[in-house]
Amino acid sequence: MNIRRALPLDAEELARVESTRPQAAGWGGKGFAGEIPQACSCVWCACEEKEIIGFLALRAAAGFAEILNVAVLPAWAKKGVGFALLSHTLKDLKKQGPYKVSLEVAQDNLPAQGLYTKAGFAKLGVRKDFYGPGKDALIMGINI
């Protein structure tokens, strides 16, 4: 597996990976195509051979970063791909200086919470009804 930055021509393949995971952000091809060229945005792809098997998208500026969208293909789940993407992202950000990194994750999304906790993120708070009535989000964060 290797990890590289996404290019605009990856947008449709990223959307196919995203579509396998209802918990992902649901950007679709147009969303990825708009996001990838943004100066403050970075979309990392995990690739096996030439296939994209997972991605992590974040925006970072002026010492603050937010993780916006993450997914790993179900066939590659629980094999360390998500952790490799997150570790790579944090290492890359750290090279640019200190950052406060945060994200929202559904309160019932225990796999994703496990991933972030394993990488050192802590729970910072709760956003009530963030994903709809009765569907709260946890805010998680890490200072690197």
Ligand X SMILES: CC(C)(COP(=O)(O)OP(=O)(O)OC[C@H]1O[C@@H](n2cnc3c(N)ncnc32)[C@H](O)[C@@H]1OP(=O)(O)O)[C@@H](O)C(=O)NCCC(=O)NCCS
Spell out the residues 6+ positions from residue 26 whose beta carbon is closer than 8 angstroms to its own.
Answer: 18
Catalytic residue among 18, 35, 99, 116: 116
First-to-last C-alpha distance (Å) of the chain:
25
Per CB under 6 A, 78 contacts ligand X = yes
With residue 94 as reference, give the H or E element that holds it.
helix 81-95
Query: Considering CB under 6 A, how many residues would be counted as binding ligand X?
Result: 21
Task: Report the b/e string of 40-74 with b at 16+ CB within 10 A.
Answer: ebbbbbbbeeeebbbbbbbebeeeebbbbbbbbbe
Write each residue from 98 to 137 as x if it is in contact with ligand X (CB under 6 A), else as -, in one continuous string: -------x---xxxx-xx--x-------------------
Q: Candidates 26-34, 78-86, 92-100, 125-133 — which segment interacts with ligand X by CB under 6 A?
A: 78-86
Write each residue from 26 to 65 as x if it is in contact with ligand X (CB under 6 A), else as -, in one continuous string: ----------------------------------------
Is 141:112 a contact under the CB 8 Å cutoff?
Answer: no
- Active-site residue list: 104, 116
Binding site for ligand X (CB under 6 A): 21, 23-24, 70-72, 77-83, 105, 109-112, 114-115, 118
